[in-house]
Amino acid sequence: MKLKTLQKALAAGLFAITSGFAMQASAAPIFTFTEYGGFTNMVAGAVYSNQTVGAASLIPAVAPVYGKMSWVANSTPQSSLVLSTVTGPAALPENTWTTISTLTHNNIAIPNAFSWGPQDVWGRLIITDSNGGSSVRLDSDDPIRLSFVETPNANPCNPNLIGPLCNDHFTFTSIGLSSIGFAANDGSHWMADFRLGNLVNAVMVGSTVYTAEGTSSHLNVQALVRQIPEPATLALMGLGLLGLAFAKRRRND
């Protein structure tokens, strides 16, 4: 009797999973996103320019943000960071890493070391679901915090970008890169994950990004949306797997 009950649980769990996938396939959310961003004025000795503009409801008016920050040597702007964002709306496909903003480091060799931090890179990500009528499902504005070390460019330099003598490096914190849960129009549960990717003229080790002197380096901030199974489906699946294990054990006894 117990074996039959557990086998029924297995069948119910598999049916629930199959039904869930069928519902997703027939009425999948259609996500799009917009991203607004900029640097907050935090670093003494840096020059901020290209103020980010937009609707007052989208851009913080009390603390303006800027698309470019430069740090100076002999009162002349030298190296700079430039942030470009996708102000869309742009498609945000499921289970696909999608670039929401790009951070470019124009790295000029500065004779004297100039390190700074912390610096917040503010970003406001808005995800909209167009299935069944357009509706904002996620609106997040957590910053990414970073610090920077400008190296003295002493020889010999490490040719693989990683090293303390020549290659400048940024250290990122997890602020602004943590996963965020949200619900679609149909009530299904989703998770937005974030990462730094597509590095050019740069190498990432842990949370530190090394950039080459005398060139432009860039990296992308990317987002991925994935569906989270419903708790009831997970419970049925657990019962089903338990029934399968029990049935296998009974056959082996």
pLDDT digits (tens, 9 = 90+) for 165-174: 667 889 998 6
Q: What's the Cα-to-Cα distance from 70 to each of 47, 121, 220, rounded to whole Å? A: 5, 14, 19
Confidence of residue 198 (pLDDT cuts 50, 70, 90): very high
Residue 205 pLDDT exceeds 90: no
Please report, rounded to a whole number, the percentage of residues in the chain having pLDDT higher than 90.
46
**Closest Cα to residue 196, out of 217, 212, 172?**
172
Whole-angstrom distance, CA of residue 93 vs CA of residue 95? 7
User: What residue segments make up the domains of the chain, in order of their start?
Assistant: 29-229
Task: Provide mean pLDDT across the span 222-237.
Answer: 73
Q: What is the mean pLDDT of the chain?
A: 79
